Amino acid sequence: MNQKKTILVAAFGTTYATARQNAIDSVVTKIKQAFPEFETRLAFTAEMVIRRLWERDSIKVENPLEALEALKTEGVKHVVIQPLHIIPGLEWKKLLRAIRRYHDSFERVSLGRPLLYFAKTEKSPDDYEEAALALLPQLPQTGEGQAVILMAHGSWDPANGCYFCFEWTLRKLGADRVHLATVEGCPDLYQVIDQLDQKSVKKVTLMPFMLVAGEHVFRDMAGDDESSWKSVLERHGYGVQVWTHGLGEVEAFQNLFVKRVAEAVSGNYEDLMELEL
């Protein structure tokens, strides 16, 4: 039955079935449980992921344009779009373009924000501190000569600066042995290695700062190929441990995305985000 109100969850996506189930589907399930008066649907923003899932597994996942067109055709009145992206980077901007195209097709469109968006002001919460507090219990204990490197996706979009703000927030909360490096952006792994050398670090734990533990985690971070972060660090003389779980598997982060949806449904911070639409 068409409830006329729908939450459209938009993730980058992954071709790893286990990662999809453990991270993305887990967040979607939490949202469904929290908002039973809404129908909840899922779309992926990565066309390469959508294409591969169809060609390899005959799994059809809509992109945001397709999903919004379907909701328009079905006569849905109120759409809440909640991204599962970490920063408001290129994939976020792609999502915004789709929303702008269909904004006038619904009576109300509510936009949730990515994990890292607002810094603390008189009118907004501190997304960075919320995310840091969710992450801290997941971090291993580190002593002298030990460090944690978080693998973030990174972007050549200016939103890449969100990672620097997040790392600064971790420092503020006392996590001074945690470093963040990006796959596609700044800082990269070698820049972080320079910092570790200056601190005489000998042992490193690698952890993803990504929604899912997919190809970047199992190939680029923890793989056996000579170019993987694990291999590079070992060649530099570090002892390396790896943690291969995405943020979407962690209940604290699932709850943060549910909170984002609740704020979008209630209209909180709508005036602060109106320029996005």
d(C-alpha 241, C-alpha 204), whole Å:
6
Residue 166 and residue 180 in contact, taking contact as beta carbons nearer than 8 Å: yes
226: Cα within 13 Å, side-chain hemisphere: 0
- Residue 129's H or E segment, with its range, is helix 127-135
Among candidates 116, 196, 203, which has minimal Cα distance to 163? 116
**Phi (first) and psi of residue 31, to 5 degrees:** -65, -45
- For 62-122, strand residue ranges (E) read 78-83, 108-111
88 three-class SS: coil
Query: How many other C-beta atoms can be found within 10 angstroms of the C-beta atom of residue 225?
Result: 9
d(C-alpha 99, C-alpha 277), whole Å:
8
d(C-alpha 106, C-alpha 109), whole Å:
7
d(C-alpha 15, C-alpha 53), whole Å:
6
Token pair for 95: 């999502």
Among candidates 64, 84, 151, 159, which has minimal Cα distance to 118? 159
Active site residues: 153
**Phi (first) and psi of residue 192, to 5 degrees:** -70, -40
d(C-alpha 193, C-alpha 181), whole Å:
10
